[in-house]
Amino acid sequence: MLNNIILFITATLGVLCTLLILRKNRNQEHYLINKYLIILIIFATSRFFLSGLAGTFPQFNISNVLNLTDVGLFIVVPCFYLYFQNIINENKFNQIDLLHFALPLLVGIAFIINNLGGSRHVNQFNKVLFFVSILVLISYAVFGFVMLYKHIWNRKTDIKAVQKQNNLMTYWTLFLYVCFIALLFIRVAAILSNNLLSSDHYNYIWVPALVWTGIFINIIIRPEILYGYNFLAKTINTANTTTPEKIIFSDIWLTERALLPITIEREGVLEKKIAPLLLQYIHQIEVFSFQTPAFRNPDLNPYEISVALNIPLSHINFVFKYHCNESFTDYKKIVRINDAIKLIEEGYLKHQKIETLSAAVGFTSYNTFNTAFKSITGITALEYMKRLKS
């Protein structure tokens, strides 16, 4: 009875995850849609639902279907690796990725043919196939670790908002990788205990269900992990900056309190004046930042923002000093790199050099631009352009 409850709870959480992602898709937040993660979620949800159904209603006799889900498990395992790869590259669908499913698919077909053929050596042959599959899983575990360690777990940046997302993605990928290893050990233990291909299959299925429950809960309570990297640009692209007092970067701006203690009397007086206007000011600054080319001016300073927005300079300085997590210099980098990304996506580098792009968005040197671009996106502008072509 407890097994059934665990399985149905896990399946329900899987449905909630799927609905969450589909809702994001309906809101045009396509960046959150990762095909490999969706495949994993849907497969796991279906598997645990069917197992719970089999345990609750044994008269249905769906053991053959459950055996097929065991085979399907090996086929979808490459999705873990491809999901991690997609987080890093954020590239379009590549047909070569289908090769990852070739060997698992052959193993699955061999398993089905062998069982349908009624061979007297079915159990022995099935075990050989599953052990081959275990070797494949171990290979993915090793290659996945190397890839994650090199490209995700060691990402560095000076931009606080990007650093926060990097830390979140490090936690999420590390957690998911540990879950993958846990599922691998559960599978090995099931084979060695001879339960995998016996009538006791149902007795252990609740263990991986608990692992998947942890995965589903993380997605539900931390949907921002679905953004992956470059979330600053993605947030700008999906945000509605026309809504009055709508703030795009909640991670950059502090609206409930001041970043630093206000000890100077005149700044305390200024705080009282600015408080009722703070959201409006921040919204105006963001619209000015992302809907005008003003930041392409390499000499842009708070005074010019003050003049353009008709906001007192003391108010602009106060907002950046006490309500912005980033320095004004780093804020300019964020705006300019977002501008550069848009230009690259529009084909700017087809006819211009990267040095020209860096000057066009307001950087005084190519090295400064390249450092800022990599700090925010994790890759260089040239690599970003190449990924768009892939």
208-267 pLDDT tens trace: 999 999 999 999 998 888 877 766 666 666 555 555 567 777 778 988 888 888 888 888
pTM of the predicted model as reported, rounded to 2 decimal places? 0.82
378: pLDDT strictly greater than 50: yes
Residue 142, both tokens: 């090793």
**Domain check: are 214 and 340 in the same one?**
no
**Domain check: are 246 and 200 in the same one?**
no
| Dihedral sign of CA atoms 82, 87, 93, 96 in order | negative
Q: How far apart are CA 237 and CA 31, in angstroms?
A: 10
Average pLDDT of the segment spanning 311-339: 93
Tens of pLDDT, residues 15-35: 999 888 877 665 544 454 578
What is the domain range of residue 188? 2-228
Look at residues 228, 258, 273 and tell me which one is the last residue of a structural domain. Answer: 228
Q: Average model confidence (pLDDT) for the chain?
A: 83
For residue 16, what pLDDT is reported? Answer: 94
Give the distance from CA 328 to its chain's centroid.
28
**Domain check: are 332 and 185 in the same one?**
no
**Domain check: are 81 and 20 in the same one?**
yes
Tens of pLDDT, residues 156-175: 888 888 888 889 899 999 99
Look at residues 187, 211, 228 and tell me which one is the last residue of a structural domain. Answer: 228
Look at residues 203, 228, 253 and tell me which one is the last residue of a structural domain. Answer: 228
Q: What percent of the chain has pLDDT over 70?
A: 81
Tally the domains of the chain: 2
